[in-house]
Each structure stands twice: as structure tokens, then as C-alpha cells.
């Protein structure tokens, strides 16, 4: 089966391990289209070629980089003509222009299509996005949802084709692994290193961290890996709370450096806050930290509790005293930290490896390949 995947997300080197795993599935010939760069939260993410064995990766010019709903690939038709795919895996929401364009092109080659969706809040979209979404629903063979709520949303919106729930990406358990030499459990007089990784935007709850940590009664540092518009506000907040010495803005970390950054932490916190148009869709840094043996704490926004399971701690979103209490509990209880480290690693291995996700994806390809014939142009 010739599979053509279109994925701006796969410019991240660590995510390409899933592609290598898909390429090992029997009967799959995989070609992946990626842009040379993608602009996110004011930062240009350049293509990282880290894991490229077993499949072909094509770098295509992209129009309107950074615009999730409006970007597209002018040369995609040439690729369709060259590859002649049996199945087109569009790693994008169904209402995005790139998805409608890819589905329209695929009709001319009788290729089945599927899209991927994270959108876990019901929303109606204005023209032309609503029309694109309905067109895609009519002409694809099926879909992959990144979480159960996203599957329920497209079904509520009238999607009647086959849908399965598979996270978009996993972790490489050999790269994201506990360090070869474990750091000894720190004494209560040492600095407790608390980490956050992700976009510096309001919905990620990053502005809740310093006010919660200000109540801690032991030495601590907050290390933040990421970029975004809230960086200056975080620095100002630290000055206002007289916590500048405790805040370390480490900047965006290339995917290859993330394991090393995670190894420096005692705990990783994801304090996401639900908004009217967004709630946490997965939280990729959680399984990355868990695979590295780093205990995790997350809010109860969206999918976070399902990702963490019994392998970490969860607090009500926006409840700063509860977050302070959980951090204090972890600091005071090295045995609990060790237990959560082991549970997290085990959960990452059983649920969130690239191999696990790739196998589920290939099974879904086979299901759709033997389904109803694709619609004509």
C-alpha cells in the first residue's frame, strides 16, 4: 500500500521516529510531505532531519506558514502524480484549507483519505472553513482522533465514517529514558527543580506557576523550556513577586535536547487551563517526562488526567493551593517520587511509544483500505 502522509508536525525530529516505525509495517510504502519550517508562537521551527530511515521525506514549499487554517502546499499535486498513493493520511484538522486541498487532489487518483483531529470542543466554523469541513467529511474514508472527546465532536457534527482514537505521536523509549546514572534523591536542603515545557500562552496556565511556587517553604527553582508571548510577563511577574532568582527561562529546546533537559528535573508540571475555545488535547511533554522517569503533575484540563492515569498527580485547574500542596508532598516524600518515576516509565512504555502508535496506525490503514471505495472527483 502506497501511503502519502502530509504533516507539518513531522518537522520535529523526535516525531519522525513514528514514521520509521510505520515504514516497518508489512506492505506499507511511506512518503511524507513536510514544510522546510513552521512558525509557531512567534518562533520559526526549522525542519529537523533526525529519523529518516525506511521512508521518503519530501520537503515542499508552504504558503502561509504559521496559519493553521490557511496554509497549503502549491506543489502537492505534483507529488500526488508522482507517488500515486493508495491512501493519503492528512495530519490536519478537517476544516483546514490544506486538508480540503489534499482531499480534492486525491479524488483524481482514486486514493482513499483520512484526516487527524485534536479538536475536543464543539465549534461551528464560518465560511469557507465550514464548507471545507463538510467537503472533507463527505470524501474521506475515515479519521483518526487524538482523544475520545475529539472523536465525539466530529460524530456530533455529522461525521458518519469510521473513526479511531490514536495519539498523534509517542515517545522513543530509548531516547526518552531515565539517565544511565540516576541522580541520588536530594536532601531537603537541596534545590528542588520544577519544570514546565511548552508554549508560553495563557491557556497553558504558565502564569499560575510562580504564584503557586511562591508559597513553597523549601528551596526551589522553576525551569521553563519554551517560547511565546508571555515570556516578558513571566519575567515581570517574577520581579513583582521577588522571585527572579528562582526563575530560569531556558528557551525552546530542540527535540534532541529534551531528554537531557528533562533529566535535570525533580518534577514536571503542566498546569493547563480550559478556555471557551480550547482545552488540553493531550500534553505531549507528559509521556516524554514519564518515559524519562520524571514524576509529573497536571491540571484536570481536557485529556491530561487520561494521559497521566495512575502514574502522576492531578489537581483542579487553576487551584493554586492544590498545586502547592502536591509539590510539597513530592518534595517531602522521596519514596513517592521514586514510585511515580517507575509508574510513569511503565505507562509510557505500555501506551505511548512510537512503535505502539505506529502499529495502531498501520492497522487502521488496513481497515480503511478494505472499506468502502473512495468517492470520485
Confidence check: pLDDT of 269 > 60: yes
Confidence check: pLDDT of 347 > 80: yes
Confidence check: pLDDT of 178 > 90: yes
> Which CATH superfamily includes the segment(s) 192-351?
Glycogen Phosphorylase B; (3.40.50.2000)
pLDDT at 373: 36
Task: Give the pLDDT confidence of 231-256 residue by residue, as tens digits.
Answer: 999 999 999 999 999 999 999 988 88
d(CA 26, CA 3): 12
pLDDT at 43: 76
Task: Give the pLDDT confidence of 65-99 residue by residue, as tens digits.
Answer: 999 999 999 999 999 999 999 999 999 999 999 99
d(CA 362, CA 4): 13
Exposure b/e, 54-80, CB count within 10 A at least 16 = b = ebebbebebeebbeebebbbeebeebb
- Cα maximum dimension of the chain: 69
Q: Determine phi and psi for 278, rounding to 5 degrees.
A: -160, 140
From the number of C-beta atoms within 10 Å of its C-beta (0-12, 13-18, 19+), residue 162 rates as middle
Residue with cell 490503514: 365
pLDDT at 180: 78
> Which grid coordinates belong to 147?
482523544
Residue 41 pLDDT grade (very low, low, confident, very high; cuts 50, 70, 90): low
**Domain boundaries, given as residue ranges, for the chain:** 2-170+353-369, 192-351
pLDDT at 171: 94
Q: Lowest mean pLDDT: which of 188-192, 194-198, 229-233?
A: 188-192
Q: Which residues are 220's β-sheet partners?
A: 192
Confidence check: pLDDT of 374 > 70: no
Q: Which residues are 29's β-sheet partners?
A: 2
* Most confident region among 9-13, 225-229, 252-256, 342-346 by mean pLDDT: 342-346
> Which CATH superfamily includes the segment(s) 2-170+353-369?
Glycogen Phosphorylase B; (3.40.50.2000)
Give the contacts of 179 (CB within 8 A, at least 6 positions apart). Answer: 263, 292
Confidence check: pLDDT of 189 > 60: no
Q: Closest by alpha carbon to 296, among 211, 183, 162, 194?
A: 194
Confidence check: pLDDT of 331 > 60: yes
pLDDT at 181: 61
d(CA 341, CA 354): 20
Residue 64 pLDDT grade (very low, low, confident, very high; cuts 50, 70, 90): very high
Confidence check: pLDDT of 351 > 60: yes
pLDDT at 44: 84
Q: Lowest mean pLDDT: which of 82-96, 171-185, 329-343?
A: 171-185
Q: Lowest mean pLDDT: which of 21-25, 44-48, 105-109, 334-338?
A: 44-48
Q: Closest by alpha carbon to 367, among 92, 56, 1, 21?
A: 1
More confident residue, 41 or 138: 138
Mean pLDDT of 163-191: 80
Residue with cell 493553521: 68
Q: What percent of the chain has pLDDT over 70?
A: 95
Residue 182 pLDDT grade (very low, low, confident, very high; cuts 50, 70, 90): low
Confidence check: pLDDT of 187 > 80: no
Confidence check: pLDDT of 188 > 60: no
d(CA 244, CA 263): 23
Question: Does residue 332 contact residue 190 with C-beta atoms inside 8 Å?
Answer: no
d(CA 239, CA 210): 11
Mean pLDDT of 140-164: 97
Angle formed by the axes of helices 97-107 and 76-83, to 10°?
A: 40
pLDDT at 308: 98
What angle (nearest 5°) sits at the alpha carbon of residue 5, between those of residues 362 and 348? 50
Q: Closest by alpha carbon to 144, among 89, 101, 97?
A: 89
Task: Give the pLDDT confidence of 98-141 residue by residue, as tens digits.
Answer: 999 999 999 999 999 999 999 999 999 999 999 999 999 999 99
Catalogue the E-assigned strands of the chain.
2-6, 29-34, 37-40, 43-46, 56-59, 87-90, 112-117, 142-145, 162-165, 192-197, 220-225, 247-249, 267-270, 296-299, 313-315
Domain 192-351 in the same topology as domain 2-170+353-369: yes
Q: Closest by alpha carbon to 29, among 70, 85, 82, 71?
A: 85
Amino acid at each position: 500500500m502506497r501511503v502519502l502522509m502530509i504533516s507539518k508536525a513531522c518537522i520535529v525530529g523526535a516525531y519522525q521516529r513514528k514514521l520509521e516505525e510505520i515504514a516497518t509495517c508489512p506492505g506499507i510504502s511511506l512518503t511524507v510531505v513536510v514544510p522546510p519550517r513552521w512558525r509557531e508562537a512567534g518562533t520559526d521551527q526549522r525542519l529537523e532531519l533526525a529519523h529518516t530511515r525506511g521512508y521518503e521525506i519530501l520537503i515542499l514549499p508552504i504558503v502561509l506558514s504559521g496559519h493553521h487554517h490557511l496554509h497549503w502546499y502549491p506543489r502537492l499535486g505534483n507529488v500526488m502524480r508522482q507517488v500515486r498513493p493508495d491512501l493519503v493520511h492528512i495530519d490536519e484538522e478537517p476544516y483546514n484549507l490544506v486538508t480540503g486541498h489534499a482531499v480534492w487532489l486525491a479524488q483524481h487518483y482514486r486514493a482513499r483519505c483520512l484526516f487527524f483531529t485534536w479538536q475536543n470542543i464543539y465549534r461551528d466554523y464560518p465560511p469557507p472553513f465550514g464548507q471545507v469541513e463538510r467537503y472533507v467529511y463527505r470524501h474521506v474514508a475515515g479519521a483518526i482522533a487524538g482523544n475520545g472527546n475529539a472523536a465525539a465532536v466530529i460524530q456530533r457534527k455529522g461525521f458518519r465514517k469510521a473513526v479511531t482514537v490514536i495519539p498523534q505521536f509517542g515517545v522513543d523509549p530509548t531516547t526518552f529514558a531515565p539517565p544511565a546514572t540516576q541522580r541520588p534523591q536530594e536532601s531537603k536542603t537541596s534545590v528542588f527543580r520544577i519544570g514546565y515545557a511548552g508554549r508560553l500562552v495563557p491557556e497553558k496556565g504558565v502564569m499560575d506557576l510562580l504564584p503557586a511556587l511562591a508559597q513553597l517553604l523549601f528551596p526551589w527553582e522553576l525551569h521553563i523550556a519554551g517560547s511565546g508571548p508571555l515570556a516578558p510577563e513571566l519575567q515581570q511577574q517574577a520581579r513583582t513577586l521577588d522571585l527572579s532568582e528562582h526563575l530560569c527561562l531556558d528557551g525552546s529546546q530542540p527535540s534532541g535536547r529534551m531528554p537531557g533537559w528533562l533529566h535535570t528535573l525533580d518534577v514536571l508540571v503542566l498546569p493547563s487551563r480550559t478556555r471557551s475555545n480550547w482545552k488540553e488535547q493531550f500534553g505531549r511533554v507528559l509521556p516524554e517526562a514519564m518515559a524519562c522517569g520524571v514524576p509529573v503533575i497536571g491540571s484536570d484540563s481536557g485529556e491530561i488526567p487520561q494521559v497521566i492515569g495512575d502514574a502522576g498527580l492531578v489537581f483542579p485547574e487553576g487551584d493554586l493551593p492544590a498545586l502547592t500542596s502536591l509539590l510539597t508532598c513530592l518534595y517531602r516524600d522521596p519514596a513517592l517520587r521514586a514510585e511515580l518515576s517507575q509508574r510513569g516509565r511503565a505507562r509510557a512504555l505500555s501506551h505511548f511509544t512510537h512503535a505502539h502508535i505506529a502499529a495502531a496506525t498501520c492497522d487502521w490503514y488496513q481497515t480503511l483500505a478494505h472499506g468502502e471505495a473512495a468517492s470520485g472527483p
